[in-house]
Every structure is written in C-alpha cells, then in structure tokens.
C-alpha cells in the first residue's frame, strides 16, 4: 500500500536538501577566496602598525622532478663523455601561487605548508606580465650560471662567462624601516623591476659595464635620459632619472638600482635545460649538481634520490630561496628522504621546514657547492673526478 500524503511530508525537505547541498559545494568551490581570506600586514603609512588586507592567493607545494630528464647535450664526440651508470636521481622542486577558491582557502587553513598571499606579496608592484617575464629571466640566468659552475667544477677550463644586458632588479632605498622604504632613490619614480635599460643619453648599452662607462664623469644631481624596454609594453620608453652618489662612499655616481645577473656562458659543447614555464633562480644548485653528475665518473648520490633547492652564483655560493616549507612538502609527497637546502635561510624558515618534514625528510643546509658535494659524499656519493685534460 503506498504511503499516504501525510506520511510523505519529510520527503519535501529531504529533496530540497539533496538539491541544495551540491549547489553549495559547487558555489564554495567556484567563489573566490577574496570574499573571506585576509591577513595582517605592515601598514605602509605606519610600518609599526598592522592593517588587514585581502589574501586571494596562496603559496602551495607543486612538484619534485628529476633534473636529468630535462637535460640534453649537443655533439660530445671527442669533447666529453656522459656517465649514465647511476641508480639515484637529483630532484628540483617547485611551488605555485594560484588564486584560491573559498573551498581551497578553508582546506588550506589547517595545512601548515600553505601560506596566504596578498596581491602585492604575489606580484609586488609589477603587473602579472612583468612578474612572469622577470621570473623566466631569472630561470634562464640560473640555468646559464649552473652550466658554467658545473663545467668549471668538472675541469673544463674553456667555459667562459659573457656579461648580459642591463635589467633592473630593484631600486635602492635611502631611508626606511623593516618592511617599508620611506625614501627611495629618485630613479624609483621612473624605473620598474624588469625594465631593460638599452640606452643612456643616446649611448647604446649591451652590458652593465657599458652603463658604468656612460655615467663616467657625471655628478650627483645630473639628469640622464634612459631608453628602456618594459615587459608588457610593445614600444621602448624614454625616461629621465636623477643621479645620486653611491652610498658606499666610493665616490661613484650611480642611478641607484641593483641589476639582475643576466650573464650567459660560452661552453665547449651545447647544453640544453628544459625549464618550460618554470621561473625563478631556485633550481640553480640542482642543475649544477646534476650536470656534474652527468659529466663526471661515479655517482654523486650513491644511488639515493636527493632533492635540491638553492640559487647558485658564479663563485659557487648557494643563495636563499622562497617557499621552502612548501618545497619540503612536495619532496615528502614523492617519497624523497634527503633535501639539500640553502644554509642562509632564516632560522625560523628552517625550523618550520623541519617541522613539516618530520621524520620523513632529512633537511641538509649547505652554503656552497663544495658543501653540497661534501653532503652528498656523507650520504654515500662518489667524489667528483675532474676530466683528464681539463677540457
């Protein structure tokens, strides 16, 4: 006997709930986190105070991938030999900074490796296009430096560094407090991070040395006309900047910006590192160690899988990177148990990284390439054997 209408009253609200719940889940998954996500940041007007701003982005773990899969070589016959007899791999690690939905925001609140980001923390004062261009330039430079450092370590004496174009990294600050610049140099009004300076008062600039020469004989307070190329802009622009005295009491007259290291290298054979759309300099040490492993006898990792992060400079110094907590999480997720990281990371960052790593990942701080090689030897890796003829 079918139930009477009075006995089916509960079916109406149940049906309504069944229809509403999926709709709510979809809405929460699609609505932007900026509706609710906020964080406290230093107030620009009063650095000692805090202000609440929206945080629509998050820094999250991305991937840990074997570097060797991304490296290819040109013609090596009679020049070099590759050592393919290895069991372990060296991994480079990435993070991402996506926009968050309400759902991903709420899930991330309980994950210790996820950091909320404001728009300024993600992009700075650059546009997204400028930020992408800068990041890719940093990766290209990092790849070039890694190739030179690796070949130098293995013994190829004919690897050569070639100065690169003049690209603005940051402008100097004359006065400020932690977290804020109150008095930037005059050039701050004209130059953006990522600008390429191609002329100074009509003098073409190919390298930073050309810029130094163009400013020779100038005095603080002089006005110089610069021609620049700006990411995201089709045509070059002309701007005027006031020169200042170098703050190091060297007597130099400068514009007042720190340039990117855009050096390239000339090598005895072709090396290609497929970086795709991955940006930033943090894979430099991983690239360097993998190239050394490929071009020298033995096995640097002793058959182990080892993750590596850190910027590499031409003198072999390992520089600090961003997103270490997220990178530790990515390493842990792929099951790699050893992770070389820059020793110059802050104590707070290293402590947080070790907390996320737990007993699953050994965090090994290194300050130089030599320390990284020594750390791999401690794990059971072979020492580097230079090529017999030095290239």
Q: How far is the C-alpha of 391 from the C-alpha of 383, rounded, in Å?
A: 19
Q: How far is the C-alpha of 146 from the C-alpha of 287, rounded, in Å?
A: 6
| pLDDT number for residue 335 | 98
Q: How far is the C-alpha of 195 from the C-alpha of 230, rounded, in Å?
A: 5
Q: Is the pLDDT of residue 27 over 70?
A: no
Tokens 């089916």 -> residue:
8
- 132 vs 250: which has the higher pLDDT: 132
Which of 37-46, 51-60, 247-256, 382-391 is least confident? 37-46
Q: Is the pLDDT of residue 236 over 90?
A: yes
- What are the pLDDT digits (tens) for 122-173? 776 566 776 677 777 778 788 888 999 999 999 987 888 888 899 998 888 8
Give per-residue burial for 72-99: e unless 16+ CB within 10 Å, then b.
eeeeeeeebeeeeebebbbbbbbbebee
Stretch(es) of the chain classified as CATH 2.30.42.10: 168-259
| pLDDT number for residue 95 | 95
Nearest to 365 by CA among 389, 388, 341: 341
Q: How far is the C-alpha of 250 from the C-alpha of 231, rounded, in Å?
A: 33
Stretch(es) of the chain classified as CATH 3.30.230.10: 59-95+134-162+270-378
- 87 vs 124: which has the higher pLDDT: 87
Architecture label for domain 59-95+134-162+270-378: 2-Layer Sandwich (3.30)
Q: Are 167 and 258 in contact, with CB atoms under 8 Å apart?
A: no
Q: Is the pLDDT of residue 12 over 70?
A: no
> pLDDT grade, residue 186 (50/70/90)?
very high
| pLDDT number for residue 15 | 54
| pLDDT number for residue 55 | 82
Per-residue pLDDT averaged across 243-247, rounded?
A: 86
For residue 180, the SS3 value is: strand
For residue 63, the SS3 value is: strand
Nearest to 294 by CA among 4, 69, 51, 28: 69
Which of 32-36, 46-50, 327-331 is least confident? 32-36
Q: How many CB atoms lie within 10 A of CB 1?
A: 3
pTM: 0.75
- The pLDDT mean for the chain works out to 83
Start-end of H helices in the chain: 11-30, 102-108, 119-123, 128-154, 208-214, 284-295, 324-334, 347-357, 369-378
Per-residue pLDDT averaged across 2-10, rounded?
A: 54
Q: Is the pLDDT of residue 43 over 90?
A: no
Q: Are 273 and 58 in contact, with CB atoms under 8 Å apart?
A: no
DSSP assignment string, 87-113? S--EEEEEEE--B-BHHHHHHHTT-TT
Q: Are 203 and 214 in contact, with CB atoms under 8 Å apart?
A: yes
Helix, strand, coil fractions of the chain, as percent rounded to 5: 30, 25, 40
Residues with Cβ within 8 Å of 325's Cβ and at least 6 positions away in sequence, in order, are 112, 113, 115, 349, 352, 353, 356
- 321 vs 252: which has the higher pLDDT: 321
**In CATH, 168-259 is 2.30.42.10:** yes
- 69 vs 106: which has the higher pLDDT: 69
Q: How far is the C-alpha of 244 from the C-alpha of 246, rounded, in Å?
A: 6
Q: Is the pLDDT of residue 28 over 50?
A: no
- What are the pLDDT digits (tens) for 203-224? 999 888 889 889 988 999 999 9
- Based on the number of CB atoms within 10 Å of its own CB, is 334 exposed (0-12), middle (13-18) or buried (19 or more)? middle
| pLDDT number for residue 306 | 98
Q: How far is the C-alpha of 138 from the C-alpha of 260, rounded, in Å?
A: 8
């Amino acid at each position: 006997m079918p139930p009477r209408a009075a006995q089916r009253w509960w079916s109406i609200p149940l049906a309504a709930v069944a229809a509403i719940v999926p709709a709510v889940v979809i809405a929460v998954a699609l609505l932007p986190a900026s509706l609710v996500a906020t964080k406290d940041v230093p107030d620009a007007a009063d650095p000692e105070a805090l202000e609440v701003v929206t945080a629509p982005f998050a820094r999250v773990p991305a991937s840990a991938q074997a570097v060797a899969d991304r490296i290819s070589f040109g013609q090596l016959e009679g020049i070099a030999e590759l050592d393919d007899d290895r069991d372990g791999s060296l991994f480079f690690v990435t993070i991402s900074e996506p926009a968050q939905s309400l759902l991903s925001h709420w899930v991330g609140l309980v994950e210790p490796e996820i950091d909320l980001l404001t728009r300024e923390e993600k992009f700075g004062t650059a546009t997204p296009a400028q930020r992408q261009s800068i990041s890719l330039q940093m990766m290209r430079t990092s790849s070039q430096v890694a190739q030179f450092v690796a070949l130098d370590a293995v013994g190829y004496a004919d690897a050569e560094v070639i100065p690169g174009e003049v690209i603005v990294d940051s402008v100097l600050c004359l006065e400020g407090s932690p977290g804020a610049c109150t008095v930037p140099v005059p050039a701050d009004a004209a130059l953006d991070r990522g600008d390429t300076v191609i002329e100074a008062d009509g003098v073409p600039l190919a390298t930073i040395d050309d810029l130094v020469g163009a400013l020779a004989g100038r005095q603080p307070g002089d006005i110089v006309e610069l021609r620049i190329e700006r990411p995201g802009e089709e045509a070059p622009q002309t701007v005027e900047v006031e020169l200042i005295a170098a703050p190091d009491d060297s007597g130099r007259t400068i514009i007042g910006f720190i340039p990117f290291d855009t050096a390239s290298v000339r090598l005895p054979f072709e090396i290609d590192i497929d970086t795709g759309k991955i940006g930033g300099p943090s894979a430099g040490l991983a690239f360097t160690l993998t190239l050394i492993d490929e071009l020298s006898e033995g096995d640097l990792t002793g058959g182990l899988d080892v993750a590596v992060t850190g910027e590499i400079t031409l003198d072999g110094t390992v520089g600090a990177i961003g997103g270490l907590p997220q990178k530790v999480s990515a390493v842990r997720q792929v099951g790699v148990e050893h992770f070389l990281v820059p020793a110059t990371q802050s104590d707070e960052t290293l402590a947080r990284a070790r907390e996320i790593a737990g007993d699953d990942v050994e965090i090994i701080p290194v300050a130089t390439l030599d320390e990284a090689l020594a750390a791999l030897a401690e794990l059971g890796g072979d020492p580097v054997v230079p090529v017999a003829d030095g290239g």
